[in-house]
Structure 1
Amino acid sequence: MTKPPTVFVVDDDQAMRNSLKWLIESVSMQVETFESADAFIKSYYPGRSGCLLLDVRMPGMSGLELQEYLRANQIAIPVIIITGHGDVPMAVRAMKSGAVDFIEKPFNDELLLESIRYALALDVKQRDMQKQRAEIATRLARLTPREHEVMVMVTNGKANKEIASSLGVSAKTVEAHRARVMEKMQANSLAELVRMAISANLTLSESKSEE
C-alpha cells in the first residue's frame, strides 16, 4: 500500500518540534521530526511523498543549505520555511530558491496548517506531472526517427504538404507517419498531441532550431 504523505519537521529546538508534531497530528496528518538537517538526510529517501517544514538557523547544515542540497540532488519536495523575525532576508532567499512559503515565529496555527495543506497538494500535483512526463517519454521512445520528425513538425503547426516538401516524401506518406504517431503516442486529438509535445519540450526545441 502507498504510504500517506508525511510532514517532515526539521528544527533543532526540541520544544518547537514537539509543538509542531502535536499541532500537525491534531488534524490527522502524519509527521516525522528531526533535530538536524543531517538527521533528515539520513532518514529520507527520494520518492517519499509529503512536504518539508524547515527551520532556517540550525547548528551544522542550515535550513538554506539543506534546501540547496535537495535541489542539487533533484529531490523535489515542497519546502516551507519557519523563521524568526531576524531571518526574514534569509527566508526571502529561500523563497527565491523554490520554497513555497515562509512562516514567521510566533506563527498562527491555522495559517501554518493551511500552508502545509497547500504544500502537500503541490507535492501530489508535481508527482502527477512527473508520472505524465515519464509516460510521454516512454511513448516517444517507441517512435522511429522519421515519426519523431513528423511529430515535431505537426505539433509546430506545419501542414502535411509542408512536411512532405520538407522531408522529400509524398503527402500520403506523411499521413501514414502521422497516423502512426497518433497511435503510438495514444493521442486522441491534435490538441492532445501538442500538449504532449509541450510537456516534452519538442515544440520549444523545434522553434529554437528554426531561429
Structure 2
Amino acid sequence: MTTMLVRLVDDDEELLKSTAFLLRMAGFDVLTYASAESFLELDDATRPGCLVLDQRMPGMTGMELQEAMVERSETLPIIFLSAHGDIPMAMQAVHRGAEDFLVKPADPQVLIEAVRKACEKSIEAASEGAETDAVALIAQLTARERDVAEGVAKGLLNKQIADELGISLVTVKMHRGNVTKKLGVKSAVAIAELLRRAGSGAGAVR
C-alpha cells in the first residue's frame, strides 16, 4: 500500500522543519511547501494523504487555498494549523470541508491523530474511486468478453479458454483483444485485479 503523504504548507521555516520531523517519526511521508502557490503548482493531488495548512501567509492565505481546491474539485483532506484563527473562521473552514482546525502550538499527539484520521479518510476515498472506475471498465465488456476475461484472469491459455467455453480459438483471440482494448491492460494479473475491484465495488458486476 502507498505510504500516506502529508503536505505541510506554512511560511514559518522552523515550524515546517519541526512539524515534518514529528510526522515522519510517526510514520508518514512528508512534503513541505513555503507557500500556498508552490503547493498548487507542485503537488501531486492523486496521492492519498492530507494537507496541514497555515492560515496567515504572504500571498495566498490558507482559506484562499482551500477555496481554490474546492473550485478545482480536489478532495484532499485539510487540517488547518494556525495561530491566527477564530471561531467564525474555523466554522467556515469546516463548512467548506476541512477535517479540523487546530491552534498553534498544537499538542503533538492531537496533531498526529488528526493527521492519521484525515489520511485514512483519503485512503478510503481513493479505494472507493478505484472500485468505481473498475466497475465502469468491466461494464463495457459483453457477456462473452467477460467470460474470456475471467479465463485470462485464472491464467488459462487461449486454447484452454476456447475448450472451456466451447468456442473457437480465433473467437477467443478476438474477444481477448477486445478485453485488453476496453480495459486498457494486457496482463492476466492486471485483468484479475480489475475484476476483483469491480466485484468489491458493485458486488456482482454481471
- Which TM-score band (shorter chain)? 0.5 to 0.7
Inter-partner Cα distance in structure 2 for 1:26 and 1:88: 31
2:131 paired residue number = 132
**In structure 2, C-alpha distance between the alignment counterparts of 1:86 and 1:5, rounded to whole Å:** 27
Q: 1:72 corresponds to which residue?
A: 71
Q: Distance in 2 between matches of 1:119 and 1:10?
A: 16
Per the alignment, in what secondary structure is the counterpart of residue 58 of structure 1? coil
Query: Is the partner of 1:89 in helix, strand or coil?
Result: helix
CA gap 1:68/1:143 in 2 versus in 1, 3 angstroms: farther
Which range moved further: 62-71 or 109-118?
62-71
User: Displacement of 1:15 after TM fit?
Assistant: 1.9
1:48-197 equivalent positions in 2, closer than 5 A: 48-84=47-83, 86-142=85-141, 192=203
Structure 2 Cα separation of the partners of residues 29 and 137 of structure 1: 32
Aligned letter for 2:89?
Answer: M
| Equivalences, count | 150
Task: Please list the CA deviations of residues 96-144 of structure 1 after superposition, one character each: whole Å capped at 9, or x if unmatched.
Answer: 1111111112211101000011111111100011111112222444479
> 1:199 maps to what in 2?
none
Q: Which residue of 1 aligns with 2:14?
A: 15
1:12 Cα deviation after fit: 1.1
Q: Could you tell me how far apart the structure 1 residues matched to 2:22 and 2:15 are?
A: 10
Structure 2 unaligned blocks of 5 or more: 144-197
Aligned to 1:47: 46
Q: 1:87 to 1:35 in 2, by over 3 A?
A: farther
Query: Which residue matches 1:4?
Result: 3
Q: CA deviation at 1:76?
A: 1.6
Secondary structure in 2 matching 1:95: helix
The AA in structure 2 aligned to 1:60 is G
C-alpha distance in 1, partners of 2:96/2:140? 33
Cα contact 1:56–1:87 (8 A) shared by 2:
no
TM-score by length of 2: 0.65
In structure 2, the residue corresponding to 1:9 is in which secondary structure? strand
Which stretches in structure 1 are left out of the alignment for 5+ residues? 145-185, 197-211
1:94 is aligned with what amino acid?
A
Identity %: 33
CA separation of 1:86 and 1:68: change in aligned 2, threshold 3 A: closer
Letter in 2 for 1:46: A
Given that residues 56 and 84 in structure 2 are in contact (C-alpha distance below 8 angstroms), is that contact kept between their aligned partners in structure 1?
no
The one-letter code of the counterpart of 1:24 is L
